[in-house]
């Protein structure tokens, strides 16, 4: 199977090797067509965003206004902070020029003159690698004003890296824009959507690193070629990041729709000690977890995962064997969302903290039956009541982990049901007047 995003070519990250292998020809091909044609091809290719929402990339581009005096912007989202996902750093390291070429084509399609590649601050090494690639591309005239001469076109655009500083929320597109504007990374209320009102109030498109890296190959080989790879409703290859209890964790680029069991057992080498699988989170820590006995026959694409009650997310597959303490896992996941909640919306700010407290109570063997329902109730009250999707990201793991592993969690809480005192005043009176006194 041909690799699209991470081809196995030696030194492909070097500009000379990339050009030798036909690099930057797709950009030339794109600039010879109209921008509408490019958007149309990407739409028909069926390429869906790889950042979590799996939204049609071409459709997203088509929301950008055609007639406007305002400058337009492209943001390439490399904030990559979802626990379990580590694919973008691989692209920065192994295939930065295809990412740059994809950025050029996208800028051309949406009419942007400037693209910002937002990279999380912890990725110092990968920021340097990416900056080197961008500098090389500038030098060879593939980016910036030099493009006019290199490609023989009137169009040119600049690419800049914006370094984050450690905030999960900035991977959310509107938070990313606020962060880029030099503000606290709070999300924005939608509508207005970024295509109307994005960076500095101008039309903006935000795409994931992996999404953009697919673009040159779609233009080069045609949308029909791309649409025929993997599952028709979610075509192309996906970078599956396998982590946790597997023998060979890592990134595997495979066609969408590859069986989850195939990825775990064949590519990632199975579970150490041939243990049974207790739980798999298929798309990064915010996606609903699956029971070990649910994963047989599950295909890894957006639609197939939806059918089994989960989602593709960022395709970060976390595998947990039968000896894993799921309460600890869920408590840790919730601790993460509590830590990363930006604090703007009350349900998320408070709810994530409550869920963490209750889970730690269960972890310390002090939980009760009622705590399980309490957790689900908190999760339900967060979901849908927040400005951005961090609310859902925090609520889903809790709700689905507890409902799908109810028996497991019930084992971990006290059997007796806590009886709540209906009339607090009355109960206090009883303490004030000891029972003996009254009965006398």
Partner 1 sequence: MEFKFTQENLERIKQEFKKYPEKQPVVMKALYIGQEQNGYISNEVIKEVANLLEMPSEEVLGVVTFYTMYHQKPMGKYHIQICTNVSCMLRGGYEIWDNVKEKLGIENMEVTEDSIFSLEEVECMGSCGTAPMIAVNEDYYENLSKEKVEEILESLKQTN
Residue with tokens 């597997």: 246
Is 310 among the residues that bind partner 1 (CB under 8 A)? no
**Shortest Å, Cβ 238 to partner 1:** 15
Per CB under 8 A, the segment of 23-31, 36-44, 134-142, 248-256 that binds partner 1 is 248-256
Q: Which is nearer to partner 1, 219 or 330 (CB)?
A: 330
**Shortest Å, Cβ 150 to partner 1:** 21
Is 181 among the residues that bind partner 1 (CB under 8 A)? yes
CA 215 to chain centre: 19
* Interactions with partner 1, residue window 332-391 (CB under 8 A): 332-333, 336, 339-340, 342
3-state secondary structure the chain: CCCCCCCCCCCCCCHHHHHHCCCCHHHHHHHCCCHHHHHHHHHHHCCECCCCCCCEHHHHHHCCCCCCCCCCEEEEEECCCCCCCCCHHHHHHHCHHHHHHHHHHHHHHHCCCEEEEEECCCCHHHHHHHHHHHHHHHHCCCCHHHHHHHHCCCCCCEEEEEECCCCHHHHCHHHHHHHHCCCCCCCCCCCCCCCCCCHHHCCEEEEEHHHHHHHHHHHHHCHHHHHCCCCCCCCCEEEEEEEECCCCCEEEEEECCCEHHHHHHHHCCCCHHHCCEEEEECCCCCCCCEEHHHCCCCECCHHHHHHCCCCCCCCEEEEEECCCCHHHHHHHHHHHHHHHCCCCCHHHHHHHHHHHHHHHHHHCCCCEHHHHHHHHHHHHHHCCCCCCCHHHHHHHHHHHHHHHCHHHHHHCCECCCCCCCCCHHHHHHHHHCCHHHHHC
Q: Distance (Å, rounded) from C-alpha 350 to C-alpha 386?
A: 12
**Shortest Å, Cβ 180 to partner 1:** 6
**Shortest Å, Cβ 303 to partner 1:** 25
Q: Which is nearer to partner 1, 147 or 318 (CB)?
A: 318
Per CB under 8 A, the segment of 39-47, 140-148, 247-255, 297-305 that binds partner 1 is 247-255
Comparing C-alpha atoms, which of 176, 209, 208, 10 is closest to residue 90?
A: 209
Q: Could you say which of 167, 206, 298, 378 contacts partner 1 (CB under 8 A)?
A: 167
Q: Which is nearer to partner 1, 3 or 28 (CB)?
A: 3
Is 165 among the residues that bind partner 1 (CB under 8 A)? yes
Q: Which is nearer to partner 1, 93 or 350 (CB)?
A: 93
Both structure tokens of 124: 């110092």
**Shortest Å, Cβ 211 to partner 1:** 18
Is 3 among the residues that bind partner 1 (CB under 8 A)? no
* Interactions with partner 1, residue window 97-136 (CB under 8 A): 116, 120-125
Is 244 among the residues that bind partner 1 (CB under 8 A)? yes
Q: Could you say which of 48, 97, 162, 217 contacts partner 1 (CB under 8 A)?
A: 162
Per CB under 8 A, the segment of 31-39, 330-338, 370-378, 379-387 that binds partner 1 is 330-338
Q: Could you say which of 250, 292, 353, 370 contacts partner 1 (CB under 8 A)?
A: 250
Per CB under 8 A, the segment of 175-183, 218-226, 303-311, 361-369 that binds partner 1 is 175-183
Q: Which is nearer to partner 1, 30 or 177 (CB)?
A: 177
Q: Which is nearer to partner 1, 272 or 309 (CB)?
A: 272
Size of the site for partner 1 (CB under 8 A): 55
Per CB under 8 A, the segment of 17-25, 217-225, 317-325, 374-382 that binds partner 1 is 317-325
Is 249 among the residues that bind partner 1 (CB under 8 A)? yes
Comparing C-alpha atoms, which of 145, 167, 166, 168 is closest to residue 156?
A: 145
Is 276 among the residues that bind partner 1 (CB under 8 A)? no
Q: Which is nearer to partner 1, 169 or 229 (CB)?
A: 169
Q: Distance (Å, rounded) from C-alpha 74 to C-alpha 5?
A: 20
Beta-bridge partners for 158: 114
Comparing C-alpha atoms, which of 185, 193, 207 is closest to residue 76?
A: 207
**Shortest Å, Cβ 165 to partner 1:** 4
* Interactions with partner 1, residue window 35-94 (CB under 8 A): 71, 80-86, 88-89
* Interactions with partner 1, residue window 395-414 (CB under 8 A): none
Within 8 A by CB and 6+ apart from 305, the residues are 282, 283, 298, 299, 311, 312
Q: Which is nearer to partner 1, 153 or 335 (CB)?
A: 335
Which residues lie near partner 1 (CB under 8 A)?
Answer: 71, 80-86, 88-89, 116, 120-125, 160, 162-168, 179-185, 200, 241-245, 249-251, 281, 285, 316, 318, 320, 324, 328-329, 332-333, 336, 339-340, 342
């Amino acid at each position: 199977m041909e690799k699209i995003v991470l081809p196995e070519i030696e030194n492909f990250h070097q500009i000379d090797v990339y050009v030798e292998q036909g690099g930057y020809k797709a950009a030339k091909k794109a600039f010879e067509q109209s921008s509408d044609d490019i958007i149309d091809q990407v739409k028909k290719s069926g390429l869906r965003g790889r950042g979590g929402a799996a939204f049609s990339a071409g459709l997203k581009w088509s929301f950008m206004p055609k007639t406007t005096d305002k400058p337009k912007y492209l943001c390439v989202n490399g904030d990559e902070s979802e626990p379990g996902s580590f694919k973008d750093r691989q692209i920065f390291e192994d295939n930065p020029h295809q990412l740059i070429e994809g950025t050029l084509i996208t800028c051309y399609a949406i009419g942007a003159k400037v693209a910002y590649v937002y990279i999380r601050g912890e990725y110092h090494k990968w920021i340097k690698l990416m900056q080197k690639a961008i500098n090389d591309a500038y030098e060879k005239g593939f980016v910036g004003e030099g493009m006019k001469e290199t490609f023989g076109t009137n169009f040119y655009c600049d690419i800049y890296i914006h370094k984050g500083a450690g905030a999960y929320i900035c991977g959310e597109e509107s938070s990313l824009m606020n962060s880029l504007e030099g503000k606290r990374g709070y999300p924005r209320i939608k509508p207005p959507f970024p295509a109307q009102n994005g960076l500095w109030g101008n039309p903006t498109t935000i795409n994931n690193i992996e999404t953009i890296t697919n673009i040159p190959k779609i233009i080069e080989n045609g949308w029909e070629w791309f649409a025929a790879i993997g599952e028709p409703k979610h075509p192309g290859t996906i970078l599956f990041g396998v982590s946790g209890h597997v023998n060979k964790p890592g990134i595997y680029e495979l066609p969408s729709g590859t069986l989850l069991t195939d990825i775990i057992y064949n590519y990632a080498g199975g579970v150490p000690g041939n243990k049974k699988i207790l739980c798999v989170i298929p798309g990064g820590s915010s996606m609903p977890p699956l029971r070990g006995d649910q994963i047989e026959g599950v295909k890894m694409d957006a639609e197939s995962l939806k059918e089994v009650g989960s989602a593709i997310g960022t395709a970060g597959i976390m595998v947990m064997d039968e000896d894993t303490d799921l309460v600890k896992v869920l408590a840790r996941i919730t601790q993460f969302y509590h830590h990363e909640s930006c604090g703007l919306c009350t349900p998320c700010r408070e709810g994530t903290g409550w869920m963490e407290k209750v889970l730690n109570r269960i972890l310390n063997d002090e939980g009760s039956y009622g705590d399980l329902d309490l957790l689900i109730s908190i999760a339900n009250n967060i979901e849908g009541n927040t400005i951005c999707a961090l609310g859902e990201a925090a609520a889903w793991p809790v709700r689905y982990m507890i409902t799908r592993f109810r028996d497991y969690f019930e084992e971990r809480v006290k059997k007796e049901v806590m009886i709540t005192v209906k009339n607090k005043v009355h109960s206090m009176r009883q303490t004030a007047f000891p029972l003996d006194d009254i009965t006398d």
